Amino acid sequence: MRRSVLPILVISGGIAEMWNKQHPEKKMNTGDSITEVNGIKGNVALMLEKCKSDQTLELTICKCLTYGHLVADLEKLMLVKGCGPIMIRLSWHDAGVFNGSDGCPNAAMRLAGGGEHAFGANAGLPQVAIPLLQAISDKYVPKLISHADLWTLAANVAIKVMGGPDIVTHFGRIDAQSPSEGATAATGRLPDGDKDAQHLRDIFRPKGFTDKDIVALSGAHTVGACHADRSGFEGPWTADKLKFDNTYFQDLLNKTWTMETVKSGNKQYRSGKEMMLTTDMALVEDPKFKEYVMKYASNQGAFFDDYKEAWVKLQELGCGQLRDIL
C-alpha cells in the first residue's frame, strides 16, 4: 500500500511553520498529518511536489494520525478489552492460509460473500475480532495503513502488551477488494485441533516451516482459550490466558492430562480448568517436537527468540517486498 498522508514530524522551519504563521486558526502540530495539498490526495510524491512548487497552499489536515498514535490506540484496546489473543488469531489466520502457491495476508476475511469470511476455521473472527478493531480501522485505514498491515501490527502490539517479545512489523500488504482475491479453498490451509504430529507437518511444511518453527508457533497457545461455538473445543490452555510466556510448554510437560469428550463430540485433554488439543499433545508425543518443548519450557528467552523468527515469517507469507516503516 502506497503512503497516502504526509506526517508532521517537526514544526520548526519548512511548510508547517509557514502554514501556522499564515493560518493560526488552522494550526498544525507534531503528530498531525496532511491528507490533501491543493486538490491532490492519496499520492505523497505529488503532494510533496505541490508543497515545493505552488506559491499558494490549501491543505487538509488530519489531527494525530501517526504510527505512534496508532500503536497507542491499539495498546489501549488490548488493555481495555483484553482482546490480545483473538488479535493474534486474526493475524495468524489471515497469513496462515498461504499454502505455498496462493493465499496471503490481505484481509480478505473482512469481505462477506464467501471466501475466507466463510471458512469454518475462521469462525468468530469476522464476528468478534474485526468489529473490535472497527473504530481504529475507521480512523487510520486507508489514510495511514491497510487493513492487512493493521491486523499484523495489532497482533504484534497484543503480544508485547501481554508480556511477550517485541516483534518487528514490516509494512506494505495490499488489501483484497473482493472475496475472490483471498484463498481459493479452506482445505489444507490451517491445522485442525484434533489431529496428530504428521498433520502439523503436512500443514506447515508447504509454507516453509521447520519442526522448530511449528513448536515455537504453537507456543502462542499460552494465551487465549477455545470456544465451543467457534472451534468445538472448550477452555483455556493456561491459567492466565492474557500472559504471553512459556507456561504452555511447562504445562505440557508437568501436568497430568486426561482425555475427555466435550459437548460437540470433539476429544481434547484436560487438567483442572485448563485444556490441550490433540495437536498440542502431539508436541510431547513426537520425539523431535518434544526436544523443542523441553527447550522452551526451561528457557523462555529461547522460546521468544524462535517465536519471533517464525512469527514474522508467518506474517509475511506470500507477500512481496515489504518496507521497514509505515
Catalytic residues, by residue number, are 93
Taking the C-alpha atoms of residue 80 and residue 175, their distance in angstroms, rounded to an integer, is: 27
**Polymer length of the chain:** 326
Taking the C-alpha atoms of residue 111 and residue 131, their distance in angstroms, rounded to an integer, is: 13
DSSP state of 174: P
Cell of 73: 490506540
Taking the C-alpha atoms of residue 83 and residue 75, their distance in angstroms, rounded to an integer, is: 10
Asked if residue 269 lies in contact with residue 256, where contact means CB atoms within 8 angstroms, the answer is no
Taking the C-alpha atoms of residue 105 and residue 295, their distance in angstroms, rounded to an integer, is: 30
Query: Is the dihedral angle over the CA atoms 86, 88, 92, 95 positive or is it negative?
Result: positive
What are the DSSP calls for 64-105, one per residue?
T-SHHHHHHHHHHHHHHH--HHHHHHHHHHHHHT--SSS--S
Query: Is the dihedral angle over the CA atoms 136, 138, 139, 141 positive or is it negative?
Result: positive
Cell of 118: 466463510
Taking the C-alpha atoms of residue 169 and residue 33, their distance in angstroms, rounded to an integer, is: 21
Determine the straight-line distance between the first and last CA of the chain, rounded to whole angstroms.
10
Q: How many CA atoms lie within 13 A of 35 on its CB side?
A: 15
